[in-house]
């Protein structure tokens, strides 16, 4: 069996890859593994379970709840809420486990299961591995040890979760949003109620689009993966800015008053300077991945902010932040982590903090993001090559060194073997788009000839 857990929980096509049986079995296995690890020692365990609005979330939630309760875990069902809300409530309610059913920005037929440890933090890799091992062991025949009588878990709805999470978001904002007009695109997803409520309570005039989930329309032509509707709505309503979430609202992209896209790098740049000014930028450092635009790196250097770069993936950003005590990190895709207020990427919090900076400074979003110039970035995928030889090919090393010399300090080359396919990604940044295209094309040819 291939590894079930990916970098962000277990995902697949609901009712094909991700079945009710799998959801139930993994939940029982998680309860047993956490009991074995001593998480439940000395008390009756509790889990918080939430989901995004996908139709399949209804039966998968039922399976997860049944699995946990059958293993003696009391369950608080919080209903449709963002992933970061489930993480927050897991910590705030002192629960032993959090479970979120969502496939984030994926298309509607997919779904996923993500487990949070006590405190609302991502479950450690070794615990995920152990859950998988225990699940497989019992799937093939070994019977579970099951509680009976009063030992079975009790299930209740925790309707206060919505208000508790919104109140938390408002409480951590540095200032109110009075006087701002904001368009919110909720991707017909998990933040469809939360985000408009939070922005309105913070004082903004709110226009919402993509906030009518019917279980089937999540991420469909809207949200952070499709910004066209938001760009048009911001201009049409004369708004100060627009904010777009994905299906589970753990990420956020923005749009300025002219309808220009603002990506995760630009949001990070604005928040880094705002937090430094407020004295809350721990270690005067921001954490980002190697895929961050070179313009972001140059801007941070110019502003005197340290930059730590990690492998691609918000899990690596979070690991580096926790290991060194940094408080701000994120990715170009809009996963932004503000560790003082959240244990995971939180799109609603990110959008609120970005809007708060606009309100506090009286400057436009376009003006604020002007701190960095986004350099043209060209990405070419080279398929059917031996990606294991990227680091060892002398011909390739020579070609990369030549390209770096040609680009100088305002350009960059990055070769990344794909984690899942036999291909190599060639990424080139340069001050001039034509130069970036030319260098990327040349390097892609060398990758083909050297590794083909």
The order of strands in the sheet holding 110-117 is 10-13, 110-117, 97-101, 46-51, 74-80, 155-157
Q: What are the extents of the domains in the chain?
A: 10-159, 163-369, 377-451
The annotation status of 129 as a binding-site residue, yes or no, is no
Question: How much is the average pLDDT of 108-127?
Answer: 94
Measured distance CA(32)–CA(114) in Å, rounded: 17
Is pLDDT of 2 > 60? no
Equal CATH topology for 10-159 and 163-369: yes
The domain 163-369: what is its CATH number? Answer: 3.40.120.10
Is pLDDT of 367 > 50? yes
Nearest Cα to 346, choosing from 239, 207, 123, 195? 195
Is pLDDT of 402 > 60? yes
What would the DSSP string read from start to end of 399-434? Answer: HHHHHHHHHGGG-EEEEEE-SSSSEEEEEEE-SSHH
- Residues 307-365 have pLDDT tens digits of 999 988 888 999 999 999 999 999 999 999 999 999 999 999 999 999 999 999 999 99
Is pLDDT of 199 > 90? yes
Is pLDDT of 421 > 80? no
The annotation status of 104 as a binding-site residue, yes or no, is yes
Task: Give the pLDDT of residue 1.
Answer: 43
Task: Give the pLDDT of residue 420.
Answer: 67
Note the pTM of the prediction, 2 decimals: 0.92
> Phi-psi category of 369—alpha, beta or left, where left has phi over 0 and alpha has psi -120 to 50?
alpha
Question: How much is the average pLDDT of 190-215?
Answer: 98
Q: What CATH number does domain 10-159 carry, 3.90.25.10, 3.30.310.80, 3.30.70.120, 3.40.120.10?
A: 3.40.120.10
The annotation status of 246 as a binding-site residue, yes or no, is yes
Question: How much is the average pLDDT of 412-438?
Answer: 88
- Residues 78-117 have pLDDT tens digits of 999 999 999 999 999 999 999 999 999 999 999 999 999 9
Nearest Cα to 202, choosing from 233, 179, 228? 179
Q: Taking all residues of the chain, what is their mean pLDDT, rounded to a whole number?
A: 95
Nearest Cα to 129, choosing from 121, 137, 141, 120? 137
Task: Give the pLDDT of residue 58.
Answer: 98
Is pLDDT of 275 > 80? yes
The annotation status of 195 as a binding-site residue, yes or no, is no
- Judged by average pLDDT, the poorest of 154-158, 167-171, 251-255, 431-435 is 431-435
Catalytic residues: 104
Confidence grade of residue 7 (pLDDT, cut at 50, 70, 90): confident
Measured distance CA(85)–CA(66) in Å, rounded: 22
The domain 377-451: what is its CATH number? Answer: 3.30.310.50
Higher pLDDT, 381 or 140: 381
- Residues 16-44 have pLDDT tens digits of 999 999 999 999 999 999 999 999 998 99
């Amino acid at each position: 069996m291939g590894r079930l857990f990916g970098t962000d929980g277990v995902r697949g096509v609901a009712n094909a890859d991700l079945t009710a049986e799998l959801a139930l079995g993994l939940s029982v296995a998680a309860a047993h593994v956490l009991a074995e690890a001593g998480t439940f020692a000395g008390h009756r365990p509790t889990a918080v379970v939430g989901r995004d609005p996908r139709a399949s979330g209804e039966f998968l939630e039922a399976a997860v709840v049944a699995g946990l309760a059958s293993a003696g875990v009391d369950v608080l069902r919080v209903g449709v809420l963002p992933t970061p809300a489930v993480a927050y409530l897991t910590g705030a309610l002192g629960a032993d486990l959090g479970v979120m059913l969502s496939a984030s920005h994926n298309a509607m037929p997919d779904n996923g299961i993500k487990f949070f440890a006590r405190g609302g933090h991502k479950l450690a890799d070794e615990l995920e591995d152990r859950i998988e091992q225990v699940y497989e062991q019992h799937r093939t025949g070994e019977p579970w040890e099951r509680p009976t009588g009063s030992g079975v878990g009790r299930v209740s709805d925790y309707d206060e979760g919505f208000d508790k999470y919104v109140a938390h978001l408002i409480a951590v904002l540095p200032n109110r949003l009075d006087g701002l007009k904001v368009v919110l695109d909720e991707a017909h997803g998990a933040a469809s109620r939360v985000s408009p409520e939070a922005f309105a309570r913070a004082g903004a005039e709110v226009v919402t689009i993509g906030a009518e989930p019917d279980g089937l329309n999540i991420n469909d032509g809207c949200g952070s993966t499709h910004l066209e509707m938001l760009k048009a709505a911001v201009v049409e309503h004369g708004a100060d800015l627009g904010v777009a979430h994905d299906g589970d609202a753990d990420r956020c992209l923005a749009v300025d008053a002219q309808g220009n896209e603002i990506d995760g790098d630009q949001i990070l740049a604005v928040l880094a300077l705002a937090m430094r000014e407020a004295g809350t930028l721990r270690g005067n450092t921001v954490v980002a991945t190697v895929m961050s635009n070179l313009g972001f790196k140059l801007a941070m250097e110019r502003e005197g902010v340290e930059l730590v770069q990690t492998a691609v993936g918000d899990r690596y950003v979070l690991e580096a932040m926790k290991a060194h005590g940094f408080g701000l990190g994120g990715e170009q895709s809009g996963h932004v982590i503000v560790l003082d207020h959240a244990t995971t990427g939180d799109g609603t919090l990110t959008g609120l903090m970005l809007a708060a900076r606009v309100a506090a400074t009286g400057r436009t979003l376009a003006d604020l993001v002007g701190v960095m110039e986004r350099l043209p970035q060209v990405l070419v995928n080279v398929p059917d090559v031996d990606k294991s030889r990227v680091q060892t090919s002398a011909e390739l090393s020579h070609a990369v060194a030549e390209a770096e010399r040609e680009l100088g300090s305002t350009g960059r080359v990055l070769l990344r073997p794909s984690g899942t396919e036999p291909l190599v990604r060639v990424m080139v940044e340069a001050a001039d788009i034509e130069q970036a295209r030319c260098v990327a094309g040349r390097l892609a040819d060398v990758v083909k000839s050297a590794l083909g």
